[in-house]
Amino acid sequence: MLDGFITWLDSYISRERPSAVMRGMIGLMAFAGLLGTVSGKQAIRAGAFVVVIVIAVSTMLALLADRRRLTRENDTNRGLLSRYCDSIAENSGDPLVRIEHWRQHVEVRPNGDVTETLTLRAVALRRQVEFIRLTAGCRWDQPDRYRRRVQVIARSLTINGAPGTRWNVTTSWRSVQKLTSVLHLHVPIKRGQMVTFEVTRTWPAKCRPLINGEAEEFTLRTTSLLDIQHVEYTIVLPQGAQAVYEEIGAGEPDVQLSTDADGGRIFTWRAEKTPTLTEVGIRLELK
């Protein structure tokens, strides 16, 4: 009976706004007060309040335990889905897509929080492509409270760059530093078809080591599943911050890497060809 009640209450809370749930609890408290008023006995009123409070606390504890269970199951399912997508993608030696143009804009805030916006134009290289997999990393072992707040939003873009509807995104952590995002296309694209899309990653405290004086690498490392052509990567530091830099991967024969800085606060690097499993980019350190 209790399990059935908890299931119903959990469903009710999921459907209703928090204000509706609070109104229900206030209604129970008011009923307890009315019961004591009608009876005219203070003891009955106090007892009714105690019963309502005990029921409310017990219910909330049961719901919290159920939420933790659902969170664990959700993390497991996301990990499994990511693994299955990896298996499908890696079953063939051909890349999933060719990225004709990769534009990434990284904004670092004074507390180390980062917002990354990626604008990608991709061409399908397999008979049918239903998802695109992207990986991203953090340079330090973030606690779980930061990693759970990372958000990834993906949406298609029209030819004119107008935003479309959101795609479904499945995220999972390979380690405390590496995030995998599987972007599920609304409609699969066939070989030769092109899709333009935008990915926004909001990542709390990702660049905190940079803010604290350590060097930070802003690089792109391609995999066998992504054939990346032109890359343009911009890093915007907090207002008033300046940095020095050095290039990474400039010695690779297939990399034509160029870098420019705007007053030491905005850095942009570009590469015309990024070889597989090779890091290309720059390393920054605040002055």
* Secondary structure letter of residue 5 according to DSSP: H
In this prediction, residues 196-220 reach a mean pLDDT of 96
The CA dihedral of 130, 155, 168, 234, to the nearest 10 degrees, is 90
Give the whole-angstrom CA distance, residue 203 versus residue 208: 11
Q: What is the per-residue pLDDT for 78?
A: 56
Does pLDDT of 140 surpass 90?
yes
pTM recorded for the entire structure:
0.72
Check whether 220 has a pLDDT greater than 70.
Answer: yes
What's the order of all strands across the beta sheet hosting 243-248? 216-221, 279-286, 243-248
Across 109-150, the runs of DSSP E, i.e. the strands, are 114-124, 128-137
Instruction: Spell out the residues 6+ positions from residue 45 whose beta carbon is closer than 8 angstroms to its own.
Output: 32, 33, 35, 36, 37, 39
Q: Is the dihedral of CA 153, 155, 157, 162 positive or negative?
A: negative
Q: Can you give the pLDDT at residue 264?
A: 87
What's the pLDDT at 58?
A: 59
Amino acid 72: pLDDT: 61
Query: What mean pLDDT value characterizes the chain?
Result: 79
Can you give the pLDDT at residue 2? 47
DSSP state of 74: H
Residue 191: pLDDT above 70? yes
276 band by pLDDT with thresholds 50, 70 and 90: confident
By the 10 Å C-beta count (0-12 exposed, 13-18 middle, 19+ buried), 176 is classed as middle
What amino acid is encoded at 20 in this protein?
A
DSSP-derived letter for residue 121 is E
pLDDT digits (tens, 9 = 90+) for 234-273: 999 999 999 999 999 887 767 778 888 888 899 999 998 7
Instruction: Delineate the domains of the chain, giving CATH numbers in brackets.
Output: 2-89 (no CATH), 94-286 (2.60.40.3140)
